[in-house]
């Protein structure tokens, strides 16, 4: 073997070792799957959380199908709404809180007038649990079954109202200012009596403790994107 071939072989081997070490270092810090709908895009959310969770590999997704795919690929912890965790039989390790409360209000939002939960015929909602699960979630909050149009992003709710696809949309009241700021429509909300638990964390893999510890120490700006200001 020539000296050149030897050097090439050594370089390839070194690259493989470096890649392996890098992957092992990332795995040592743990992997966190995040499925939380926010007013910012998923890429921006992932970047902010990655920056705030040094050593943890963060994957933020916006579709329930992506959750299933990411879980199959292996994760050490998952951060999402407790109703999503419960649907998969996952126990909570951390519960998010805001203002001392573990839950938050939701509202029906319509154009020009406040929606009446007793008579609303169609509702736009973020897809949290697939068709049947999301339909049941909406019915539980509204108080009755209604036609549900599912979307995968917060910004997709407005077009449903603009094009009169639905009579109203359902969203967490904390997101209402962002939705109003993005629209020239006269949006009027009816707050619903039932509340929904804030995002929480469940353990999955061997590095779960490291991930949970990182989430506990997450900076305030990253927590704010998730709609929480602390954990318990």
- Torsion sign (Cα): 129, 198, 166, 119: positive
Length of the chain in residues, anyone? 232
| Whether residues 112 and 160 fall in one domain | yes
| Whether residues 202 and 87 fall in one domain | yes
d(CA 140, CA 123): 13
| Whether residues 112 and 226 fall in one domain | no
Structure confidence by residue, pLDDT tens digits, 188-229: 999 999 999 999 999 999 999 999 999 999 999 999 999 999
Per the structure, the complete domain to which residue 177 belongs is given by 103-197
- How many domains is the chain built from? 2
| Whether residues 66 and 80 fall in one domain | yes
What integer pLDDT is reported at residue 29 of this predicted model?
A: 84
| Whether residues 215 and 156 fall in one domain | no
Structure confidence by residue, pLDDT tens digits, 75-87: 999 999 999 999 9
Tokens 């094009």 -> residue: 163
Model confidence, pTM: 0.87
| Whether residues 84 and 128 fall in one domain | no
Name the DSSP letter for residue 232: -
């Amino acid at each position: 073997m020539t000296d050149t071939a030897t050097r090439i072989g050594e370089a390839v081997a070194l690259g493989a070792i470096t890649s392996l070490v890098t992957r092992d270092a990332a795995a040592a810090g743990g992997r966190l799957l995040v499925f939380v709908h926010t007013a910012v895009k998923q890429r921006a959310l992932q970047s902010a959380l990655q920056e705030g969770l040094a050593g943890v590999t963060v994957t933020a997704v916006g579709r329930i199908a992506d959750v299933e795919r990411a879980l199959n690929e292996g994760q050490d912890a998952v951060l999402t709404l407790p109703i999503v965790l419960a649907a998969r039989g996952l126990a909570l390790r951390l519960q998010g809180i805001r203002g001392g409360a573990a839950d938050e209000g939701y509202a029906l939002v319509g154009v020009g007038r406040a929606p009446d939960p007793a008579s609303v015929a169609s509702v736009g909602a973020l897809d949290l649990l697939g068709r049947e699960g999301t339909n049941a979630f909406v019915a539980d909050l509204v108080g009755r079954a209604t036609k549900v149009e599912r979307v995968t992003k917060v910004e997709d709710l407005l077009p449903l109202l603009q094009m009169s696809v639905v009579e109203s949309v359902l969203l967490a009241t904390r997101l209402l200012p962002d939705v109003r700021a993005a629209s020239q429509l006269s949006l009027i909300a009816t707050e619903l009596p039932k509340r929904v638990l804030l995002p929480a964390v469940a353990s999955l893999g061997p590095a779960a403790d490291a991930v949970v510890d990182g989430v506990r120490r997450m900076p305030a700006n990253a927590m704010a994107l998730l709609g929480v200001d602390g954990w318990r």
